[in-house]
Structure 1
Amino acid sequence: MPASKNPAIEDYLKTVYAHTEWQPEPITPSALAGKLGVAPSSVTEMVKKMAAAGLVSHVPYGPLRLTDEGRVRALAVVRRHRLIETWLVHEMGYAWDEVHDEAEVLEHALSDRLLEAIDVRLGRPTRDPHGDAIPAADGALAAEPFVRLDEAAAGHTGRVLRISDRDPEVLRSLAAAGVAPGVGVVVESADASGERVRIRLAPNGARGAKAVPAEASPVELTTAAAAEIWVTG
C-alpha cells in the first residue's frame, strides 16, 4: 500500500496542510499531537516514516513542513474531504454542521472513480459548504486575500470566505444569524474589552444562506466566534 493510501498518514498530511492554510506558521510536533489527539511519541514515529517517504521535512524538535510530494498528496486528501462534505449537504440533506465527521470516515473509503462522479454531479464546485477551497484534480487551488474577522479593523468591508468547521455549535449560531460563506459584511466595531465584534450584513445574500434585508440589524459576535470567520481582505 503506498504511503499516501495509509489512512493514518493521510490524516497527518491533511492536518499539517490545514495548519498553514490560513496562517503562515508551520506546525510543531506537539501541536500536531494535540490536533490529532495522539501521544507525542506516536507523532515522533509517524513523522519518521513520513520523512523517510519524502512527504515532510523535519529536524529534531523543529516544526514540520510538507515537501512538494507531501503537499500534492495532502491536497488530494483535502479534495476528497471537501467534495464529500459538499455532496453530503447538496445531495444527502445534511446540514453544514453535520458533515465533518462523516467526511473524515468516507475520505479514506471512496474510490477515485466515485469521487470523480460526485465532482461531475455537483458541477465541479470550487468551495465546500464552509467556504474552504476544493482543490482541483490537478492540485490547483483558488486563493483570495483574506483577513480573520476578529482581526479586521472597524469599517472593513468584505465577503465571508470561509467559516471553520471545528465547532458545530458555532456553525449553528452563525447560520441562525445569517452569516455564511458568500455573505457580505461590514465591521462596525469591537467593544473596549475586546470580547465582542459587531458586524452588519450586506444585502447581497448567498446560496444556502437566508436572505439579508437591505437594512439588516447589526449582528454581535464573540471574538471567539469571529476568530472562526475569514473575510476577503
Structure 2
Amino acid sequence: MASPAIDDYLKTIYAHTEWQDAPITPSVLAANLGVAPSSVTEMVKKLAAQGLVAHEPYRAVRLTEAGERRALEMTRRHRLIETWLVSEFDYSWDEVHDEAEILEHSISDRLLEKIDERLGRPRFDPHGDAIPDAAGHVERVPFVLLADAALGHTGRVLRVSDRDPDLLRAIEESGLTVGAEHRVGDAVPPGAGDAVWLSA
C-alpha cells in the first residue's frame, strides 16, 4: 500500500543516485530523511516485503523495478508542483521544496495532468532536475559536479541542489543559476562546489 512515508523513502532513494553512482546506505538514507537509523531499518524491511526495494543487512538499498516506477511517479509530482509554484505563483526556487512535499501527496492525477499541460510539459524543474514524463522517461545530460570539474572547464549549469535554501539564495545572487555558463575557477559561494552540476 502506498503512503506518504513510503513515497518519501522511494523518492529519496531514487534522488540519491540521480546525480552520482554510489547506491544509498541506510545511514545516509536516515540522514537525508532526518529520521533515526532504527526507523529506516523498519521501513526498509517493509519496502522489501512489498517488493519495492532490494536490501541485505548492512548493505546499500536499491529500488526494484516496481520501486523505481513509484519513485518516478512521485518525483514527477514533486517537480511539476515546484515548477508550477514558481511559474504561476511567483515562488522563488528556495521556497518551493517544502510546499511541494505537502502537495505531492494530495493532488489528483487529473490536476497533475492539467498542471503539466498548462506549463507546456516542462522537462526540468526550477533547480534543473529532470521531470519524468507520464511514462516515467527521464532526460539525461552528461554532467560533472562543480567540485570534481577540472580547473578551466566551462559548462552550462544543469542543476543546483535544493537541500539548503540559504545556499540556494547565495548561489542565485552569484549568478550561478540553471542555464548560466560557468568557468571552473571563477568565484563561487562557499559550499557551491558540492551543490552545482555543470554540463560535461
Instruction: Specify the TM-score bucket, using the shorter chain as the normaliser.
Output: over 0.9
Q: Find the partner of 2:182 among 153, 167, 185.
A: 185
Structure 1 residues without counterparts, runs of 5 or longer: 190-197, 199-219
After superposition, give the CA deviation of every residue in 1:187-210 in whole Å (9 maximum; x if it has no partner): 2x3xxxxxxxx2xxxxxxxxxxxx
- The answer to whether 1:231 aligns with 2:198 is yes
Measure how far apart 1:128 and its partner are: 0.2
> Does residue 132 of structure 1 match 2:141?
no
* 2:15 is aligned with 1:18: yes
Flag the structure with higher helix content: 2
Supply the AA of the counterpart residue of 2:196. I
Corresponding residue of 2:151: 154
Quote how far apart the aligned CAs of 1:100 are. 0.4
What SS is found at the alignment partner of 1:221? Answer: coil
TM-score (norm 1): 0.84
1:108 to 105, 109, 117: 105
User: What does 1:151-230 correspond to in 2, within 5 Å?
Assistant: 151-187=148-184, 189=185, 198=186, 220-222=187-189, 224-230=191-197
- 1:227 CA displacement: 1.4
Shift of 1:223: 5.2
Whether the 8 Å contact between 1:130 and 1:164 is mirrored in structure 2 is yes
Query: Is the Cα contact below 8 Å between 2:143 and 2:197 reproduced in 1?
Result: yes
Which deviations, in whole Å up to 9, do the C-alpha atoms of 1:136-192 show, x marking residues without a partner? 0000000011001111111211111000001111111121122111111122x3xxx
Contact 1:30 1:40 in 2 (8 A): yes
**Post-superposition offset of 1:87:** 0.2
User: Cα deviation per residue 1:44-97 (whole Å; 9 max; x = unaligned)?
Assistant: 111111101110000111110000111010000000000000000000110111
CA contact (8 A) 2:174 2:188 kept: no
1:31 and 1:171 map into 2 onto residues whose CA distance is 22
Q: In the alignment, is the contact (CA less than 8 A) between 2:167 and 2:191 conserved in 1?
A: no
Q: Work out the number of aligned pairs and report it.
A: 200
Which of residues 50, 54, 58 in structure 2 aligns to 1:57? Answer: 54
Q: Distance in 2 between matches of 1:47 and 1:171?
A: 31
TM-score (norm 2): 0.97
**Residues 125, 134 of structure 1: 8 Å contact kept:** yes
Distance 1:130 1:104, change over 3 A: same
Runs (5+) with no aligned partner, structure 2: none
Q: Give the number of the structure whose alpha-carbon radius of gyration is greater.
A: 1
Secondary structure of 2:188's match?
Answer: strand
Whole-angstrom distance in 2 between the partners of 1:159 and 1:225: 15
Deviates more, 1:27-36 or 1:102-111: 27-36
What's the C-alpha RMSD, in Å, of the aligned pairs? 1.0
Q: How big is the shift at 1:222?
A: 4.3
* Equivalent of residue 99 in structure 1, options 96, 99, 109: 96
